[in-house]
Structure 1
């Protein structure tokens, strides 16, 4: 996958817009970060993943999911785009989107 692939998926969801964060492209929901491209150009920085879930993801798919010391104390996971598939990453993105989007937007999306 590429960042453009991710962008194509999530811009179809209500309230998602292009932005930037720490000088890299980001996708935001109501001005809050859904995901951003890491400086390496091949990884996503995805907040909203509790440490216990992050540890499980890293343990089960270490080629896809990882974190650095910088993110150790944050509810964040890093995702290698070149190693992941849509079926792996989309459910995580959608769940995080649901926490950021307005209740009305989520209801309308679910009603499609």
Structure 2
């Protein structure tokens, strides 16, 4: 289980995906992929933030309200907040890889998949 931003950042960077960089937005460190915020730790609640959709967040919160939480600051955004200490590494890795792919420009992703067999 992941308990801290440092642990999440270490996992994300260990995926060795291109176009990922450490950045600071609104005074808080985050990771960007393809120039867009990819994952970060909430300054409002002890939780990691992943991209998703409002519908997915609602489903996950209903299924596991101790793991998937919400702070009012994020209510209007399609973001998934996962409580510290309840972040499964396998889930986080799969989420980060999928989000990285979803954020990639189509031409880049086509070339990446051709070189790496679609992974």
Q: Do both proteins adopt the same fold according to a TM-score greater than 0.5, normalized to the shorter chain?
A: yes
Q: Which stretches in structure 1 are left out of the alignment for 5+ residues?
A: none
- Following TM superposition, the consecutive aligned residue runs of length 4 or more in structure 1 with deviations greater than 3 angstroms are 108-112
Corresponding position: 1:75 with 2:75: no
1:91 to 90, 94, 106: 94
Instruction: Give the number of aligned pairs.
Output: 111
Query: How much has 1:33 moved relative to structure 2?
Result: 0.4
Relative to the length of structure 1, the TM-score reads 0.82
Q: Which stretches in structure 2 are left out of the alignment for 5+ residues?
A: none
What is the distance in 2 between the residues matched to 1:62 and 1:24?
26
The higher radius of gyration belongs to 2
Relative to the length of structure 2, the TM-score reads 0.78
Number of the residue aligned with 2:21:
17
Query: How much has 1:100 moved relative to structure 2?
Result: 1.6
- Two-structure CA RMSD over aligned residues (Å): 2.2
The answer on whether the counterparts of 1:98 and 1:106 sit within 8 Å (CA) in structure 2 is: no
